[in-house]
Amino acid sequence: MKISVFGLGYVGIVSAACLARDGHEVTGVDLLPEKVDPVNQGLSPIVEDGVGDMVAAGVAAGRLRATSDAGEAIAASDVSFVCVGTPSRRNGSLDTSAIERVCVEIGAAIAAKSTPHLVVIRSTVTPGTLRGLIIPALEGASGLKAGDGRLQVANNPEFLREATAIYDYDNPPKTVVGCDEADVGETLMGIYADLPGPKIVTAPDVAEMVKYADNAWHAVKVAFANEIGNIAKAVDVDSWEVMDIFCQDTKLNISTNYLKPGFAFGGSCLPKDVRALTHAGQQLDLGLPLLNSLIPTNMEQVDRALERVLEAGCRRVAFLGISFKSDTDDLRESPQVALVERLIGKGVDLAIYDRNVHLARLVGANRAYIEQVIPHIADILSDDLEAVVAHGDLIVVGNGAREFERLPDLMRPGQTLIDLVRIPALAEALGDRYDGINW
């Protein structure tokens, strides 16, 4: 395939060299002669083990060259990878001026072609940039419409680490393509056909957000490990041994179990243990901004749910599931209970259903807690799901009990639902009568 790569910085030159190695005809494009000239001489403009050898091999084989002429590169290629920088402005926002300028140049060059051209954004851009900036720039300069056959656009985030970029290119944790057309996804996945790992085609804004989710999570992990290390050192514990043991748990610690958007955490362990750890940090005179933020962040999610319920404007509300998770009667530090209490305080007319909690009120270990601490909730707690659903103009699903999957059959026309846990069957059945707390 004939490919042009715009931007011969770190990501661009590594991508160009790997693509040429894999048999594609690659034209690198950059405004700076100090990047273009070395490539044409078989030299790498960056320092990275192995890249120089790949550039030299690509140039010697006639599969890699560089130019400052965007029109020449577009005429000689079918696919363009845009790898220009998107640095931070002083206020933290992205400076997208370079990527917009490149897209205008590409669009003008595409206008002179009669054959289709695919523009692939490898630069890191915030969600909505493809639709809000890049496509308009390309369309405005080319006079074409994205998706009309001659102009195609996609997002393809890279997951390359400095010093290990060639290895990371050849062994990606995943390959993600964001596009609106199936044939675009097929074209790009064809380029990456020999690479291992999951291959995912999704919407452009999802692909853009994935890159930020990855990098924010990596930053959180580093900050988390450092704060745990600071506490461990202060109490003379080997922090590396602690985290080595921590990382061996791939069932919970390194897993998908806690990495799904939803409602606040609760129960008998997480809130209590986070408070104990941050209190220990205070006693040791340690600043722990990440760990100290966990409880406030958790309560922000309760605030968010309260606002969503009140914004619905329904006085009569059915609340389903008040234990902190399904299949338990545990109300200790349940954020659902905290939300219910605040709704009651706002004058909302509530009816509550939770099969497990109702049984606990009769015979379980939570009986004293229900009767002594939250009797005002006990008074409006029912074991009749259909009656509770009928009570509300708005239904709030607080946990993921399987029985709630049949709610669409119990709801009358006009009733709406807010889901705090994401039950897919509800979204599918209710359409625009369904709302998720953060999806």
What secondary structure does DSSP assign to 267-310, as a single string?
Answer: SSSHHHHHHHHHHHHHHTT---HHHHTHHHHHHHHHHHHHHHHH
| pLDDT for 332 | 78
φ/ψ (deg, to 5) at 291: -65, -40
Q: What is the pLDDT of residues 332-358, one digit of tens each?
A: 789 999 999 999 999 999 999 998 887
Position 364 scores a pLDDT of 61
151-155 average pLDDT score: 98
* Res. 376 pLDDT band, cuts 50 70 90: confident
Whether pLDDT at 361 is above 70: no
pTM above 0.85, yes or no: yes
> pLDDT for 1-54, tens place per residue?
999 999 999 999 999 999 999 999 999 999 999 999 999 999 999 999 999 999
Give the integer Cα–Cα distance in Å for 294 and 278: 10
Using a pLDDT cut of 90, give the percent of the chain over it. Answer: 88
Q: Give, rounded to a whole angstrom, the gap between the first and last alpha carbons of the chain.
A: 38
Residue count of the chain: 439
From the candidates 103, 247, 269, 314, give the one annotated as an active-site residue: 269
348 close to 309: Cβ distance less than 8 angstroms: yes
Give the pLDDT of residue 338: 93
Best CA proximity match to 326, nearest among 302, 350, 357, 285: 357
* Fold of the 298-436 domain: Rossmann fold (3.40.50)
Assign 176 a pLDDT band (cuts: 50, 70, 90).
very high
343 vs 102: CA distance, rounded Å: 52
Residue 269 falls in the annotated catalytic set = yes
> Which percentage of the chain shows pLDDT scores above 70?
98
Q: How far apart are CA 64 and CA 40, in angstroms?
A: 8
What is the arithmetic mean of pLDDT over 183-212?
Answer: 97
- Angle (CA) 133-136-137 rounded to 5° is 80
Q: What is the pLDDT of residue 325?
A: 86
Q: Which residues contact 226 (CB under 8 A, 6 or more apart)?
A: none
Would you say residue 373 has pLDDT above 80? Answer: no
**CB distance 350 to 343 below 8 Å:** yes
Q: Is the pLDDT of residue 363 over 70?
A: no
What value does the mean pLDDT take over residues 155-182? 95
Q: Which residue has the higher pLDDT, 361 or 117?
A: 117
pLDDT for position 358? 72
**pLDDT tens-digit profile of 304-327?**
999 999 999 999 999 999 988 888
Domain edges within the chain: 2-203, 298-436
Matching residue, tokens 């610690």: 253
One DSSP character per residue, 76-105 reads: T-SEEEE----PBPTTS-B--HHHHHHHHH
Q: Kindly list the distances between the CA atom of residue 49 and the CA atoms of 44, 54, 166, 354, in Å, as whole numbers in the listed order.
A: 10, 10, 9, 60
The stretch 208-220 carries a mean pLDDT of 95
* Across 148-177, average pLDDT: 95
Answer yes or no: same fold for 2-203 and 298-436. Answer: yes
pLDDT confidence of residue 256: 86
- Give the architecture (CATH level 2) of 2-203: 3-Layer(aba) Sandwich (3.40)
pLDDT at 362 over 60: no
pLDDT tens column, 388-429: 999 999 999 999 999 999 999 999 999 999 999 999 999 999
Confidence bin at 365 (pLDDT 50/70/90): low
296, 284 in Cβ contact below 8 A? no
Whole-number average pLDDT of the chain: 94
* pLDDT over 60 (residue 243): yes
CA 104 from centre of chain: 29
Instruction: Give 61-120 pLDDT, tens digit per residue.
Output: 999 999 999 999 999 999 999 999 999 999 999 999 999 999 999 999 999 999 999 999
Tally Cβ neighbours within 10 Å of residue 53. 14
What the block records as the tokens of 42 is 């078989």
Q: How far apart are CA 14 and CA 126, in angstroms?
A: 22
Mean pLDDT over 158-182 rounds to: 95
